[in-house]
Structure 1
Amino acid sequence: MSDWERSSTARVIPPARPRKLAKVPFVELADGRLQGVVSSGSDIGRVYVSSVAAGTYAFACSTNNNRPCGGARGSFCNHIGAMVDEAVLQYGAGRVVRYLKIEVPEADADGAALASAMRSTRPQMDATKAAASVFSRFLRHLAYLEHAPATAPLPEMHFFPPTRAVA
């Protein structure tokens, strides 16, 4: 068993390339989907929660207060396109292609090529929107930014049993 497997910390994979967080502050490959939070271009108080399912490319996009995106009617909206672009920056094109099961030559794999390959399948609107869980994880990540850098354990991580008795 390696050192990182015995520790209570998760290994952090550095991004493939640096990215700006203003437009897409949160993107992840999880739960069989590419999903993330995309800032609105018109309203600073609004964000969109977007997702694309692996294999089927079924998609969903809605605001943080569960209103459907007006641009995601029958095809990908600009929010989903921005999320795919940022996922390529964060994880690298190869990893996104493998996770979403997209058939595109890796040499041509950039955000636009991936979105184009997925659009060509005529995806249907995803009926099982996971917006609440994605937005909740995004807010949890934001809460960690409020903590000052420290090596002491965080209170919410105290679900691990103590290794020795505390007097």
Structure 2
Amino acid sequence: MNAARKPWEERSAARVVAPARSRKLAKVPFVELADGRLQGVVSSGSDIERVYVSSLTAANHSFHCSTNNNRPCGGIRRGGCNHLRALADEAVLQYGVERVARYVRADVAEDATTGAAVLAAVDPWHEPSAGAPVFSRFLRHLAYLELAATTEPLPELHWFPAGGAVR
């Protein structure tokens, strides 16, 4: 039975989907399609120590943007803010415009290539929401980068199924 197992079933690491195009992490170090939202962390253009947590909800196209200490973004207006635009552009680089548009339920033109096209298709409106869970996920990802490379399982991920049957 073990001979039929695929090699990835024998590892404690998940496969990573390659980005649609390479991107620089300085402006948007963290972007994900998760929890029914396009969400991530965007660096401030004016303060090196400040980041913004931006998100766009797929269900109703509401967005929110605030600093990591929950101060609202000063550029919020109908249609988004500069942080949300940067997040959408980087999401398109990471996942491709088709996948981002499908995830946020946007009807974009076939020739659309940017996050701005996705945002224009949904006409986002502001609704305050909690940014802490997104920022916490970002910090958790940073913590994994500090771990030494190993093929051993991580104790905190012991719940994650590594193979076929549950024992």
Asked if 2 retains the 8 angstrom alpha-carbon contact of 1:55 and 1:102, the reply is no
Query: What is aligned with 2:165?
Result: none
In structure 2, do the counterparts of structure 1 residues 72 and 2 end up closer, same or farther at CA, with 3 Å as the change threshold? farther
Residue 96 of structure 1: how far off its partner (Å): 0.5
Aligned mates of 2:56, 2:160 — CA distance in 1: 34
Residue 106 of structure 1: how far off its partner (Å): 2.6
Query: What is aligned with 1:63?
Result: 67
Asked if 1 retains the 8 angstrom alpha-carbon contact of 2:80 and 2:125, the reply is no
Aligned mates of 2:12, 2:143 — CA distance in 1: 19
Aligned mates of 1:64, 1:110 — CA distance in 2: 26
Aligned length: 159
Does 2:127 align with 1:135?
Answer: no
Asked if 2 retains the 8 angstrom alpha-carbon contact of 1:93 and 1:106, the reply is no
Aligned mates of 1:66, 1:2 — CA distance in 2: 47
User: Considering only aligned residues, what root-mean-square deviation do their CA atoms show, in Å?
Assistant: 2.4
Q: TM-score by structure 1 length? A: 0.85
Does 2:90 align with 1:89?
Answer: no
In structure 2, do the counterparts of structure 1 residues 59 and 2 end up closer, same or farther at CA, with 3 Å as the change threshold? farther
Does 2:44 align with 1:43?
Answer: no
Structure 1 outlier segments of 4+, above 6 Å: none
Query: What is aligned with 1:73?
Result: 77
Q: Which amino acid aligns with 2:72?
A: P
Asked if 2 retains the 8 angstrom alpha-carbon contact of 1:59 and 1:125, the reply is yes
Query: What is aligned with 1:104?
Result: 108
Determine which structure has greater relative contact order: mean sequence separation of CA pairs < 8 Å that are 6+ residues apart, divided by chain length: 2
